[in-house]
Amino acid sequence: MNTFRNHLLEEFFGNISNGLNRFSFASSFSSSPLPKTKKRRFPIVSAVDIGGVTVARNDVVRDDDPTNNVPDSIFSKLGMQLHRRDKHPIGILKNAIYDYFDSNYAKQFEKFEDLSPIVTTKQNFDDVLVPADHVSRSLNDTYYVDSQTVLRCHTSAHQAELLREGHRRFLVTGDVYRRDSIDSTHYPVFHQMEGFCVFSPGEWNESGKDSTLYAAEDLKKCLEGLARHLFGGVEMRWVDTYFPFTEPSFELEIYFKEDWLEVLGCGVTEQRILKQSGLENNVAWAFGLGLERLAMVLFDIPDIRLFWSDDERFTSQLFKGCSFMMITLLRCLLADKIDSQMSIGPQYLRK
């Protein structure tokens, strides 16, 4: 079976020379100490383009608002949209997921990938039933532009808006923002894809099944197919979990490289979400996945910060079909990018 992962291995790693074992090499290098470099002040960007709209720095980074905690290092990432770059690992993975849905659902799923990441607190929290006292609402977890506006923490922030506009099956892809410590697997800016599917009463009545059971079975069938599309014939398991916006809720895990890997979270949408959009007689499912998390596995990328490199040594090595995990390249990238321009650790976070 020619899976997406096999295609990646053939296309990007087929020309590895000198007998390098990229799996053991990546793991051994990731634990090596990084060369120390002098930290530099992050350059200030005066404006960014978001979906064709120019957004000024002073509209997002507000020194006069005590609620605002958006630093320049985060503002500069707005509008970069790595998921819309077809030759970037994030863009390649996004398109592979699109291919799965287009092939298996006859292009029934609409695609949205240029929605503004600046949303209201109602969109980000209330519309997806995040409790008023939930820790994710705190200034320590979320980037606030002002008391009523944030940088979205998840692509679910657009669910209610799209449902009210009449969309019933859709994929939303975009950059999301969460205040987090920075290391090889965590970064305060990353990319998510949200999937949403609404069913009418006639669909589950015809099956003779309960609406929730019908949606849950359809959801699992869809996502198991997606996992096979990306990873091949891997072993899978479903784990019951909790999300405020779905019930029941699940996580899909695959057995990969002798360990269980969480692929995505999903569930049957809470009826309150559908009711507030005028769909109280329907049932729906939703899923969300982190593109960086999966791309790091599929491309064997050892450090999440490398996704943000604008160094041609990174992209040229990757897309010439050679493994970019070559010691000279990585040491250079990690030394002069991660510890300086790419790093936006606590020393850069205002408040």
Pairing status of strand 259-269 against strand 283-290: antiparallel
Give the model's pLDDT for residue 43: 65
Q: CB count, 10 Å around CB of 308?
A: 17
- Predicted confidence band of residue 195 (pLDDT cuts 50, 70, 90): very high
**Does 287 or 107 have the greater pLDDT score?**
287
Collapsing DSSP states into helix, strand and coil, what is residue 203?
A: helix
- Predicted confidence band of residue 205 (pLDDT cuts 50, 70, 90): confident
**Does 265 or 299 have the greater pLDDT score?**
265
**Does 320 or 215 have the greater pLDDT score?**
215
* pLDDT at residue 324 is higher than 90: no
Residue 148 structure tokens: 């009523």
* pLDDT at residue 108 is higher than 80: yes
Give the model's pLDDT for residue 74: 94
Over pLDDT 90: what percentage of the chain? 61
DSSP string, 53-108: EEEEHHHHS-TT-TT----HHHHTTTT--GGG-TTSHHHHHHHHHHHHHHHHSTT-
Sheet strands side by side (includes 236-243) = 110-112, 169-177, 189-199, 283-290, 259-269, 246-256, 236-243
Give the model's pLDDT for residue 14: 37
Give me the domains of the chain, ranges plus CATH numbers. Answer: 4-348 (3.30.930.10)
136-154, pLDDT tens digit by residue? 999 999 999 999 999 999 9
DSSP state letter for 302: S
Read off the pLDDT of each residue in 154-177 and give the average, rounded to a whole number: 97
* pLDDT at residue 134 is higher than 50: yes
* pLDDT at residue 28 is higher than 60: no
**Does 47 or 45 have the greater pLDDT score?**
47
Q: CB count, 10 Å around CB of 148?
A: 10
Residue 226: φ, ψ to 5°: -65, -40
* pLDDT at residue 329 is higher than 70: no
266-275, pLDDT tens digit by residue? 999 999 999 9
Over pLDDT 70: what percentage of the chain? 76
* pLDDT at residue 281 is higher than 70: yes
Give the model's pLDDT for residue 341: 37
The Cα–Cα gap between 109 and 102 comes to 8
pTM to 2 decimals?
0.79
Bridge partners of 26, per DSSP, are none
- Predicted confidence band of residue 7 (pLDDT cuts 50, 70, 90): low
